[in-house]
Amino acid sequence: MDSNLSLPFFFPVDIPVMFPTEQPDISLLSVYHVNQNGGPFFKTYTDYPYSPRWSGDQMAVRARYFIYITACFLKTMLMCNVLYLGIGDSGVDIHLRYSSH
């Protein structure tokens, strides 16, 4: 990961019994961001690029790239002073928080 990405994230990966036929779920967990209930931010991704025909190395490279891009996006949103409040059926619900400085 990028050394400039100074916010720690956890990316639990749920590998299904039928792997590699079935795609693993990759989740994003951050204790530095909260959902609408005040709990840790947690989102599961199931729609990232994946093919059971790829080699194990190619699967790992593409998953790592997806994780990197997702973490960079979250970091950018935080730098722009955007606060994630939760995940709805239509995606991420975001609300702007204005700083006083």
Task: Per-residue pLDDT tens, the chain, 101 aa: give them.
Answer: 444 545 677 889 999 999 999 999 998 887 777 767 777 778 889 989 999 999 999 999 999 999 888 888 877 765 565 544 444 444 444 444 433 33
**Is 28 among the domain residues?**
yes
User: pTM to 2 decimals?
Assistant: 0.66
**Is 86 among the domain residues?**
yes
Q: Which domain holds residue 37?
A: 13-96
Cα dist from 53 to 15, 45, 50, 76, whole Å: 16, 20, 9, 33
Number of domains in the chain: 1
Bridge partners of residue 26, in order along the sequence: 13, 45
**Is 41 among the domain residues?**
yes
**Is 4 among the domain residues?**
no
**Is 53 among the domain residues?**
yes
**Is 73 among the domain residues?**
yes
